[in-house]
Amino acid sequence: MKKIIIYSFVLISISVWMIGCKKQNYPGGEVSPYLPIFDLRGLYKGSDITLSPENMYGSSSISAVVVSDHSGKNLPAGLLIVQDKKRLSQLRGIAIPIGADAAKYVPGDSVVINVTGGVLGRVDGILQIKGISPGAVNRVAQNKPIAKNRVPSSFILADPNKYESTLLAIVKGGFNPLPTPTDVLSGNKTLNDGFADITLHTEATATFANNPLQFSANYYGILFNKVSSTGTLIPEHRMRTASDVITLSSTPEIPDFIISGWIPDPRGTNANNNYIQFIATRDINFAVTPFSVVTTNNAGASTPAGFPANGWATGGLRTYKFNLTTGSVRKGGYFYVGGTGRTINSTGSTPIPTAQYIRGINYSTTAGDGFGAITNTLLANSGNAYGIAAFRGTTVTATTRPIDVVFVHNGGSLFTPGPPAQGYRIANNDFYDVYDPLEVDPADPNKGFQPFYLQGTNTIRFNYHDNSVADLGWFYKAGGIYSVTLGKWVKARDMKYIILPKDNSPANMSIIEDDNIVLRVNAATGVEIGRDTIPPTRIR
């Protein structure tokens, strides 16, 4: 027992000695001299604060990259704008008034700024570090890369403080109202990127103030804020130089009709009861101007297997085509394509009016128009993807580009970069871009080219509502706002899922036709000139 006690004492002594050695050898932590701008901005609580190591968590400086460029004479005079991404990968920026010396710095300059003694506060709505001398700014490197930062306008409006004093891009921006050939950038212009409206401000003295407005372009620039009479922040986007405008298109690309809803799994049998709903953006006589609609079903049992070498024209159980060659629809009117059941929720439910049903094929007994094998369902009900595309004309090949397209989910063999690349081609719409708008280069027609779903940035899709419970009759209603006069989406489609009734009531048509796609037919008045037949829910 005595030996055990001695051995225990020795072991305890050794453990204590080892812990003591570790404590003596541990060098201790050092506070970084550089405070991330994310934390710096968090110090401001509504009133001026003098910066010091005590309230900057032991730091004294910031280390950031310059994004301001005063050569275009469009930024607030004397403000050096810098940004970093040092905390939680969150990009934040700050403005520092240093007078004429601000013009000595250009985007990509890496700077270290001693901000001790500066006063953090809002001036003219912009959070700034006042009282910093030009000598406190030290340029340590040049030509540092600045990552492109695409931010939807709706995100900015929801949190303008987050994006203030950062370099960002408003992508696929167009003006409301549509510009005339004589309109120029000078002043405040309403810019829309398909998510919301935001103000683009150009000083009358800017070097590019008299440049013409573009139909569709990317607008790089720095976000600044003003403070309203109620104390809220009002954002405005300011370009720095003329090169901050990247033209994407000079003319509108308006689809003749838009995909607005569909039923993938009606209550009862799917055979002959799937249908797709569209809304026309103009008057259409299909006998004079034919179109086609193609569905793709990529369930595991669909053949031919593998990547679709012929895209939408693959046929078999993968794609099925409807030719639209008879009937007509007025601008703003709904029409339907699908099985010959022609009811909103399979047998025993409300009939869809014959005049609105432009093309019906009993796909459970009849092959498609040109391609598509007999099938029990047009749209997958498994975890794999299905899609819908609309085309001008009745000829669809591997190279034909649709006028509108939507996808649900992304499972299955949908795209391979090859070579050769194979997949389903997309349209320029609210979700997809044939050219990546951030990579487009007028001098290089191949740069940013991404014509297929799941290629590049073309990854957005709708989700299955609940494919674990079948046979409920969910209708997929795609709501959004499309401006016919502007020729663009001003609010991207989002999805509402509605269980349709099974009874035979004429009023049930309103369930699938109210509050879907809104056509904004006149940007100034919100009303289509010379027409009053479009329901008010579709006029904005």
The Cα–Cα gap between 364 and 274 comes to 11
Amino acid at residue number 291 = F
18: in domain: no
Rounded CA-CA distance 217/244 in Å is 10
> Quick check: is 300 in a domain?
yes
114/257 same-domain check: no
Q: What is the pLDDT of residue 441?
A: 82
In DSSP terms, 517 is beta-bridged to 480
Do 236 and 384 share a domain, yes or no?
A: no
Domain count, the chain: 3
CATH no. for residue 403? 2.60.40.1260
Q: What's the whole-number average pLDDT of the chain?
A: 89
- CATH number for 134: 2.40.50
β-partners of residue 129 are: 120
Question: Above 70 in pLDDT, residue 28?
Answer: no
Q: Do 204 and 264 fall into the same domain?
A: no
Which domain-ending residue is among 116, 141, 166?
141
**pTM confidence score:** 0.81
Q: Looking at the structure, do residues 215 and 237 belong to the same domain, yes or no? A: yes
* Structural domain containing residue 51: 37-141
Distances (CA, A) of 131 to 43, 109, 229, 422: 17, 21, 27, 59
Domain membership of residue 517 (yes or no) is: yes
CA 390 to centroid of chain Cα atoms = 22
Q: Does residue 302 share a domain with residue 235?
A: no
HEC profile of 313-335: HCCCCCEEEEEECCCEECCCCEE
Which residues are bridge partners to 73 per DSSP? none
Cα separation of 104 and 277, whole Å?
58
Read off the pLDDT of residues 33-58 as tens digits, 9 standing for 90 and up. Answer: 999 999 999 999 999 999 999 999 99
Q: How far apart are CA 101 and CA 93, in angstroms?
A: 19
Mean pLDDT of 424-440: 94
What does the buried/exposed string (b/e) look like for 335-360 if buried means 16 or more CB atoms within 10 Å of the residue's CB? bbbbbbbbbbbbeebbebeeebbbbb
Q: How far apart are CA 436 and CA 457, in angstroms?
A: 7
Q: What is the pLDDT of residue 378?
A: 96
Please report the sign of the dihedral spanned by the C-alpha atoms of residue 366, residue 369, residue 375, residue 381: negative
pLDDT at 351 over 70: yes
Mean pLDDT of 162-190: 94
Q: Distance between CA 465 and CA 468 in Å, rounded?
A: 9
Whether the predicted pLDDT of 64 surpasses 60: yes
Residue-wise DSSP of 66-97: E---GGGS-SPTTEEEEEEEEETTEEEEEEEE
Do 160 and 131 belong to one domain?
A: no
DSSP-derived 3-state class of residue 4: helix
Q: 141, 173, 189: which is the final residue of a domain?
A: 141
Are 274 and 223 found together in one domain?
no
With respect to residue 31, please indicate whether it lies within any of the assigned structural domains.
Answer: no
Do 61 and 178 lie in one domain? The reply is no
Residues 390 and 405 both lie in one domain: yes
Q: Which residues contact 425 (CB under 8 A, 6 or more apart)?
A: 311, 312, 389, 399, 400, 401, 402, 405, 451, 452, 453
Same domain, 106 and 184: no
**Of 194, 192, 201, 197, residue with least CA distance to 222:** 201
Q: Residue 527: what pLDDT? A: 39
Of 530, 385, 404, 351, the residue nearest 462 (C-alpha): 385
Q: Which of 139-153, 169-183, 218-232, 356-370 has the lowest mean pLDDT?
A: 169-183
Q: Which of 226, 249, 272 is the last residue of a domain?
A: 249
**Same domain flag for 214 and 304:** no
Determine the pLDDT at residue 404: 98
